[in-house]
Structures are given as C-alpha cells and as structure tokens.
Amino acid sequence: MSAATPKHTVLHPVHLEAGAKMVDFGGWDMPLSYGSQIEEHHAVRRQAGMFDVSHMLNIDICGPDARAYLSRLLANDVAKLTVPGKALYSCMLNAEGGVIDDLITYFFDENTWRVVVNAGTADKDLAWMQNAAASEHFNVVITPRRDLAMIAVQGPQARERVWSVRPDWAPATQALKPFNGVYVAEDTLVARTGYTGEDGFEIVLPADQAKSFWQDLQAQGVKPCGLGARDTLRLEAGMNLYGQEMDESVHPLISGLAWTVSFKNADRAFIGREAIEQATIDRTLVGVKLLERGVMRGHMKLRTPQGEGELTSGSMSPTMSVSIGMARVPAGVQAGDQVQVEIRGKWLPAEVVKMPFVRNGEIVA
C-alpha cells in the first residue's frame, strides 16, 4: 500500500455511516469528530465515550529470551512485571537516547509478552524491534497482530457500560487494578488503561467482533469520540503525545518522562542508557495555563525567567474553559512562575502549573 493511500481500521465503514469527519493520522483515515468535539470531550469526563484505536499495533513477543530482550529494548525495567496481566509504560530509545516510541508492555508468562505501539511509528518500531532481536541473537518470535481491533471505553461510567453489554466479562474484570489486563476470551484482552485521565478499559478483540461490540456500546449510551476529543482529554491529563512532547531528537529526561526510565539495576544496559546518563539536562517539560483570552498551539514561543521556551502542545481546555498547553523550557522553570506566550504577534501572560490539569473529572491545576 502506498504512503498516499490511507489505511483503514475494521471500523472505518461504521465511522463513515455515522457521518464522522475523517482525517489522516499516522497514515490512517481516522475520525476527528462525529459532530461536536466538545460534547465528545464532556461525555468522557462525565459519563462514557469510546474511541477506535485499532490503528495502534499490538505486537506479541514470545520465546525463552523474551524478558532479557525487553530488558535490553526498553528504558523502563520489565523486572517490575511479575504478575500475569501487569502492564508497564516505557519509552523505546535509540542509541543516542532519543525516543523511537512510547509504548505499553504486558507480561503474561515468561515466554509470552505483548507491546502496544503507536500507529504512526508502528512500521518503524517493528523494524527496530526485529533488528534488535536479530543483531543480538535473542531467541524470540515477534508477531504483529493486525488481525486484532482495539477499542478504548473511557469515563466514570465506562466500566459499567462495558459490563452491561458483555456481562460475562464482569467476573474477570471487576477487581482488575489500573494498568493490569486479563483475557476474558480467546484473543480478547481487557485492560484497565487509557489516554484520557479517566477510568475505563482498553479492549483488544478479534477484528470481526469489533463492529458488534461498538454498536452494542453505542446502544447503551456510550458516545463515539474522535481524535479531537482524544487530544484535549490527554492534554488535560498531562499525557505526552509522540511527535510533539517527544521524538527521536529528544530523550525522555527532558520530556517529562524521567519516571519511565529505570537506572536502578546498574548492570542493565538498555539501549540508549549511556547516552542519556551523559546528557546535559538543560530543559524540562511543564504545564502552562493562559491567563488571558486566546488559544495556545504547539510551536508558539515562550518567555520565562530562565530564558526562551516553546510550546509542544496547546489547546482550549473544554473542562477548564481556558487555554492550556505543555512547553519545553529551560531547566529551573517551575510551577508558579509567570511566563509569556507569543500569540499572533502579542505576548500574553501565562502561568506554569503542575500537571495534570484535570484528574478524574476534577480541575487540579
């Protein structure tokens, strides 16, 4: 398939039938919104919304060297994963310490693991992972699972809505802790994860079951949501977006992701470790709230007490009714500092705030 031809998830016809506004996202034709992006955002904060995230790629990693391989591949330490179904968020780095991708890794048993990678980086990630395994002779089998679909159901009522349409999943998932997953049927994984700052599930299931599941949820009042709401939700939740807060040119310690890098085991030589241990930490990622009317966007310039910075993301916050953003700024800038943002040639006042901006529907910034 040529780069000019967008890829389609199995739910693509459903989105078109619903009248969704479609856009290219990482080479995929995906719904931006189904009408009102604001209503979709509020549905997730107040009740429940669902997202087609089937463009993301599930990759199974199996074999006797799986743990050793992932220990080498990831900046976070899979030694933390000992309970079946437990998940770990991590970055996968290049030799220079730049972020190839951020991903979630699931442990099921010593020979059976899964990583979930971003859509726009999936092909690059897969090639990198296969090369890392082959070049260092790890005994693993790496299998991309494009036979699977993935639906995120998010919001304070999300789990109850899922149980209402799939009651047979309830016994296995009612006690599921955050950042854990469990198989409820063959090739059907329910994980208590998300990208919105709300509770909920991300469900991986056979592609041929996705349409009926989506339609059943919609019949129970779960609102279909697009990329627009997904972006404002993740921004309010203080969650990074690959390609904006981090990429191959920046390492995780200046991307607000130091907590995902584990140096605890001095003998664990993960790819990129030496580079980021030697790097100068001269910048940091902070939250910014605009104090006047206007809308901040990525790449706008900032003035701070310590020097210039740049917004990596920015939008109007539907929950807070003000513009918020993330910015890469000189080290030493901290919450409470007054800064200025250049919007259409004018420097407007803003404040550095601690992230997240919103947690479980409540404004905290």
pLDDT digits (tens, 9 = 90+) for 266-284: 999 999 999 999 999 999 9
Mean pLDDT (whole number) for 283-289: 98
Q: Is 316 left (phi over 0), alpha (psi -120 to 50) or beta?
A: beta
Counting Cα atoms < 13 Å in the Cβ hemisphere of 292 gives 10
Given a cut of 90, whether residue 151 has pLDDT beyond it is yes
- pLDDT bin (cut points 50, 70, 90) of residue 68 is very high
Q: Which two tokens stand for residue 106?
A: 């699931």
3-state secondary structure 239-271: CCCECCCECCCCCHHHCCCHHHCCCCCCCCCCC
* Residues counted in the chain: 365
Of all residues in the chain, the percent with pLDDT exceeding 70 is 99
Mean pLDDT (whole number) for 175-193: 98
- Among 10, 122, 116, residue whose Cα is nearest residue 61: 116
Domain 1-280 has CATH 3.30.1360.120: yes
What is the CATH number that goes with domain 282-363? 2.40.30.110
pTM over 0.85: yes
- Among 79, 61, 55, 56, residue whose Cα is nearest residue 132: 61
What are the residues whose beta carbons fall under 8 Å from the beta carbon of 316, sequence distance 6 or more?
232, 295, 322, 323, 324
Q: How far is CA 165 from the centre of its chain?
A: 26
Given a cut of 80, whether residue 62 has pLDDT beyond it is yes
Mean pLDDT (whole number) for 16-39: 97
pLDDT digits (tens, 9 = 90+) for 204-237: 999 999 999 999 999 999 999 999 999 999 999 9
**Domain extents in the chain:** 1-280, 282-363
Task: Give the DSSP per-residue string, 8-56.
Answer: --TTHHHHHHTTPEEEEETTEEEEEESS-HHHHHHHHHHS-EEEE-TTS
Q: Which two tokens stand for residue 168?
A: 């047979």
Q: What is the dihedral of CA 310, 258, 204, 6, to 10 degrees?
A: 30
Of all residues in the chain, the percent with pLDDT exceeding 90 is 98
At residue 341, the 3 state secondary structure works out as strand
- Among 362, 319, 364, residue whose Cα is nearest residue 42: 319
Establish whether domains 1-280 and 282-363 are of one fold.
no
Q: Which two tokens stand for residue 92?
A: 């996968």
Given a cut of 60, whether residue 3 has pLDDT beyond it is no
Instruction: Report yes or no: 30 and 23 within 8 Å, Cβ to Cβ.
Output: yes
Euclidean distance between CA atoms 297 and 226, whole angstroms? 19
Given a cut of 50, whether residue 2 has pLDDT beyond it is no
Task: Give the DSSP per-residue string, 112-160.
Answer: EEEEEE-STTHHHHHHHHHHHHHHTT---EEEE-TTEEEEEEESTTHHH
Q: Give residue for tokens 């463009």.
A: 55
Looking at the DSSP assignment, which residues form a beta bridge with residue 92?
74, 101
